[in-house]
Homo-oligomer: A and B are copies of this chain.
Amino acid sequence: MDRQQGGGRTITLPGGPRVLSWASVVGKKEGQGPLADFFDLVGEEDSFGEKSWEKAETAMQKKALSLALDKAGLAPGAVDCLLAGDLLNQCIGSAFAAREHGRPFLGLYGACSTMAESLALAALLTGGGFLERAAAVTSSHFCSAERQYRTPLEYGGQRPPTAQWTVTGAGCALVGREGEGPRIIHVTLGRVVDLGVKDANNMGAAMAPAAADTILSHLADTGRKPSDYDLIVTGDLGSLGLELLGELLREAGLDLPNLADCGALIYDRQGQDVHCGGSGCGCSAAVLCGFLLGGLAGGKWRRLLFCGTGALLSPTSTQQGESIPGICHAVALEGGKT
């Protein structure tokens, strides 16, 4: 029964639950970036026809779920449980989307690591035989995040060079115990790592140590080499965080040429004025549920390590002088045909 490898934090899934289908919904800016062709839906307006940014986030989650269901040819009732989260206070983006769905719902909060957390739990609950199918859904919205974490857009605050741009987007991955699609072969659970970074405008630096910690644990637990993965892709460290992660790994004796980051991939850094790149739960969700899963299914990559990174701060913790706890959960995926 023991499926934990090496007494570490990595769980092996011998059955290899499948990602049956996936879909991503993004805002206008994301639809103008380099990954434009990989999103299923680019909103004409970031309001998605709703009266508030929070409701727009709910609308994106609902749309991502229904698109993924359509692709798999499944009815909403075929999903045994929705595993969802977002950045909004009390995770209302997800709760109100789940209200429409009418099936069981487990609310998660892992900040920007939530897509990896929900995918990991969907894999464990289906792989363990507890659910036939589960949907992992997360979202973020630039406008709701700005007003909640910083200031309303109308204030026009300056953004420092280390800042990242919260992605307006949602992703949904449908995971099944059986079926066709990329396999989930391992899950490495993240722990909180906090090296004392206090600058809430430099979250890449705050999260990079957690990403290094999880990647090193994953490789040690599984006995794999970095080259066993065609791509090791972090959630949303952005360009500075990605650089720091490379340094931390080199210090630990690892050189990873196949390292990438969803936050660095989603925007054209020069052309789109996003400073260090994308962030937010929706960043890794939209990049995973399109570019990455599509590439795996299409044979572009054979094996991929998806490492969702999260900064577990709040405006209150920052005001109270706290540093930023980082976390990173990793999910190892293999192409569908193998």
Which chain A residues have a beta carbon within 8 Å of chain B's beta carbons? 1-4, 9, 11, 51-52, 54-55, 80-81, 85, 87-92, 95-96, 98-99, 101-111, 117, 121, 124-125, 127-132, 177, 189-192, 194, 312-317, 320, 322, 325, 327
Check A191 against B104 for contact (C-beta < 8 Å): yes
Residues of B within 8 A of A90 (CB): 87, 89, 109, 111, 312-314, 317
CA A192 – CA B62 in complex, angstroms?
14
From B51, B91, B191, contact of A105 by CB (8 A): B191
Check A315 against B89 for contact (C-beta < 8 Å): yes
Check B121 against A314 for contact (C-beta < 8 Å): no
Check B129 against A2 for contact (C-beta < 8 Å): yes
Check B128 against A124 for contact (C-beta < 8 Å): yes
Nearest-Cβ distance from residue A66 to partner chain B, whole angstroms: 16
Residues of B within 8 A of A117 (CB): 106-107
Nearest-Cβ distance from residue A214 to partner chain B, whole angstroms: 9
CA A106 – CA B109 in complex, angstroms?
8
When C-beta atoms are compared, the residue in chain B nearest to A125 turns out to be: B124
Given contacts A314-B90, A317-B92, contact A9 B106 (CB under 8 A): no
CA A59 – CA B139 in complex, angstroms?
31
Number of copies: 2
Check A11 against B325 for contact (C-beta < 8 Å): no
CA A337 – CA B92 in complex, angstroms?
42
From B52, B132, B189, contact of A320 by CB (8 A): B52
Check B104 against A190 for contact (C-beta < 8 Å): yes
When C-beta atoms are compared, the residue in chain B nearest to A55 turns out to be: B320
What are 21 A-B pairs at a CB distance below 8 A?
A2-B132, A4-B131, A4-B132, A51-B320, A54-B320, A55-B320, A81-B189, A85-B109, A88-B314, A92-B312, A92-B316, A95-B192, A99-B192, A99-B194, A103-B191, A106-B108, A106-B110, A106-B121, A107-B109, A127-B128, A128-B130
Nearest-Cβ distance from residue A269 to partner chain B, whole angstroms: 27
Nearest-Cβ distance from residue A30 to partner chain B, whole angstroms: 23
CA A52 – CA B312 in complex, angstroms?
18
Besides A1-B129, A92-B316, A103-B191, 16 other A-B contacts (C-beta < 8 A): A2-B132, A3-B130, A4-B132, A54-B317, A89-B89, A89-B315, A90-B312, A91-B312, A92-B313, A98-B325, A102-B192, A105-B191, A106-B108, A106-B110, A107-B117, A124-B130
From B51, B98, B191, B194, contact of A192 by CB (8 A): B98
CA A194 – CA B191 in complex, angstroms?
35
Given contacts A9-B104, A99-B192, A130-B4, contact A89 B124 (CB under 8 A): no
Nearest-Cβ distance from residue A200 to partner chain B, whole angstroms: 11
Check B121 against A80 for contact (C-beta < 8 Å): no
Residues of B within 8 A of A92 (CB): 312-314, 316-317
Residues of B within 8 A of A1 (CB): 129, 177
